[in-house]
A and B are shown apart, each in its own frame.
Chain A
Amino acid sequence: QKEVEQDPGPLSVPEGAIVSLNCTYSNSAFQYFMWYRQYSRKGPELLMYTYSSGNKEDGRFTAQVDKSSKYISLFIRDSQPSDSATYLCAMSALTGSARQLTFGSGTQLTVLP
């Protein structure tokens, strides 16, 4: 079983829709939770990060962490065609000499105009 599971999609939604992206994980030591966005043939870029449980909002994006259920979500409101990308969740536990990120496999999102 992978430590981090993410539905690969693909997910296709009309412009203006609310998008929900999710990951589940099994390692209780994960404390830091991140969402990366990756455009086609580009490197990932950090979208949002949260520490422990709770919500964080940044413009049209909201990240939620539920550590009791080992479940994290990213919501995109008023989705735009420019949001079309692969979204990767990533998690980290501070161990040893440095943090290491464990990534989900990514969800491919297409927002149709």
Chain B
Amino acid sequence: NAGVTQTPKFQVLKTGQSMTLQCAQDMNHEYMSWYRQDPGMGLRLIHYSVGAGITDQGEVPNGYNVSRSTTEDFPLRLLSAAPSQTSVYFCASSYSSFEVFTDTQYFGPGTRLTVL
């Protein structure tokens, strides 16, 4: 199993550009999520999905869109990049959205995004 994969590893954008961060998992996980990690802020949840076709907003959803057409893929779209979106983005997945006490969230390696 490749686990959770993310592409690209690094990206530089100009203000106003759009792009899609890719996330895929091969573990048949039901639950997938996107976080951003900023210095001194920890990881903050952007969007999450409890299954194909079902998505919901997290703590910091503004400026981002998601969709989940398959179990494996959960792309994150930046609609019009802003310098405030400079961050490290992590995708995560787990088998179930409910079984917290027996479950493990697996994180991808991250995408480092800089918006100029």
Q: Is B50 touching A98 in the complex (CB atoms < 8 A)? A: yes
**Which one, A13-21, A45-53, A64-72, A74-82, is touching chain B?**
A45-53
1/0 contact string of A95-113 vs chain B (CB within 8 Å): 0011111011110000000
Tell me how many residues of B have a C-beta within 8 Å of chain A.
26
Q: Is B42 touching A105 in the complex (CB atoms < 8 A)? A: yes
Q: Is B100 touching A92 in the complex (CB atoms < 8 A)? A: yes
Q: With a CB–CB cut-off of 8 A, which chain B residues contact A103?
A: 35, 42-44
Q: Which of A41, A43, A49, A92 contacts B107 (CB 8 A)?
A: A43
Interface residues of B in 23-45 (CB under 8 A from A): 31, 35, 40-45
Is residue A11 contacting chain B, with contact meaning CB distance below 8 A? Answer: no
Interface residues of A in 23-60 (CB under 8 A from B): 32, 41-46, 49, 51
Q: Is A100 touching B43 in the complex (CB atoms < 8 A)? A: no
Q: Is A44 touching B56 in the complex (CB atoms < 8 A)? A: no
- Chain A residues with CB under 8 Å of chain B are 4, 6, 8, 32, 41-46, 49, 51, 88, 90, 92, 94, 97-101, 103-106
